[in-house]
C-alpha cells in the first residue's frame, strides 16, 4: 500500500495554498469549450494576458470550428501575431478546427485521447479544456506546476506526465483542476524562479524553505570558524618582522 503520509502532507499544502489563492482559476477568457481549446493552444510560449488581447478579434471573425476550419492562414496569422510562433499556431488551430469538423461534428470531444489527437494539443491543453470547460477533472501540469511541486516536495521530476500522475494519486479527483490552478497561480505570484518564501502560506511545510535553515546556517558557521583560525606561518612571520623593525 502507498504511504499515506505524503498524501496527507500534499493535501495540507494544497489546503494552505488554496486559502491563499481562493479565486484561483484559468486566466484565459473564454465562452465555449472551442474558445478555450484555441486560446490554450495560443498560450504556448506566451502569456494568458497576451492571448486574451487577441482572442476577441479572432473569435469575432471565426466564432466556431466550421468557420476557423475554412480560414486563410494569412488572415489568422495577422490576428495572432503578437502571441509568438504565429505561423505554427495558425496552422495548428486551423488544422484542429478541421479535425473537429471531420471527426466530431465541430464539437470539442470530452475524452483525453480524442483531444490529444488534435493538432497542437498535448495533455496539458487537454486537461485545461476538460477541467474548465467540460466539467471533467484534469490536472494540467505546466512549468509553474513543475517548479512549485518540486520545490514544495509534493512531487519529484521534470516529466509533466509523471508529475501529473503523482499529484493525481495524492489528491481526490474532484480537487485536481482547482489544485492545478492554485499551483500555477502560486508559481506566477509567489513561488517564482526566485521565490518569495516569506509570503508563502505553506512555507512551514515546504521542503525547500525548511531546508533553507541548514543552508543559511552553513555559510554563517564557516564565517565564524574562519574568524577563529590561527594566523598562517606567513602571517606570523610578517607580524614578527614588524615587531623587530619597531
Instruction: Name the active-site residue from 142, 198, 233, 235.
Output: 142
Residue with cell 490552478: 181
Q: What is the DSSP string of 7-59?
A: HHHHHHHHHHHHHHSTT-------SSHHHHHHHHHHTTTS-HHHHHHHHHHHH
CA distance 181 to 176: 9
CA distance 218 to 197: 19
CA distance 36 to 120: 13
CA distance 71 to 80: 13
Concerning whether 239 is annotated as a catalytic residue, the answer is no
For 31, residues 6+ apart whose C-beta sits below 8 A from its C-beta are none
Instruction: Name the active-site residue from 48, 64, 113, 124.
Output: 124
Concerning whether 142 is annotated as a catalytic residue, the answer is yes
End-to-end CA distance of the chain: 79
**Residues 149 and 139: beta-carbon distance below 8 Å:** no
Q: How many angstroms separate the Cα of 41 from the Cα of each of 9, 22, 44, 105?
A: 33, 26, 6, 20
**Residues 159 and 149: beta-carbon distance below 8 Å:** no
Q: Among all residues, which ones are annotated catalytic?
A: 124, 142
Amino acid at each position: 500500500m502507498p504511504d499515506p503520509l505524503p498524501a496527507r502532507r500534499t493535501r495540507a499544502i494544497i489546503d494552505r495554498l488554496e486559502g491563499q489563492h481562493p479565486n484561483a482559476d484559468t486566466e484565459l477568457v473564454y465562452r465555449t469549450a472551442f474558445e478555450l481549446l484555441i486560446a490554450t493552444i495560443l498560450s504556448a510560449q506566451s502569456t494568458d494576458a497576451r492571448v486574451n488581447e487577441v482572442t476577441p478579434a479572432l473569435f469575432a471573425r471565426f466564432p466556431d470550428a466550421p468557420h476557423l476550419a475554412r480560414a486563410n492562414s494569412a488572415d489568422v496569422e495577422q490576428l495572432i501575431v503578437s502571441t509568438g510562433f504565429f505561423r505554427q499556431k495558425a496552422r495548428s488551430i486551423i488544422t484542429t478546427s478541421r479535425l473537429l469538423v471531420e471527426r466530431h461534428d465541430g464539437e470539442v470531444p470530452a475524452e483525453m485521447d480524442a483531444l490529444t489527437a488534435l493538432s497542437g494539443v498535448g495533455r496539458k491543453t487537454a486537461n485545461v479544456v476538460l477541467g474548465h470547460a467540460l466539467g471533467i477533472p484534469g490536472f494540467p501540469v505546466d512549468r509553474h506546476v513543475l517548479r512549485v511541486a518540486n520545490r514544495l516536495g509534493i512531487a519529484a521530476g521534470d516529466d509533466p506526465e509523471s508529475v501529473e500522475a503523482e499529484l493525481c494519486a495524492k489528491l481526490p479527483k474532484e480537487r485536481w483542476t482547482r489544485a492545478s490552478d492554485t499551483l500555477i497561480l502560486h508559481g506566477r505570484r509567489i513561488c517564482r524562479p526566485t521565490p518569495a518564501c516569506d509570503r508563502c502560506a505553506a512555507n512551514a511545510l515546504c521542503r525547500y524553505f525548511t531546508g533553507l535553515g541548514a543552508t543559511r546556517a552553513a555559510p554563517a558557521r564557516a564565517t565564524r570558524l574562519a574568524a577563529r583560525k590561527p594566523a598562517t606561518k606567513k602571517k606570523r612571520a610578517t607580524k614578527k618582522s614588524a615587531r623587530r623593525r619597531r
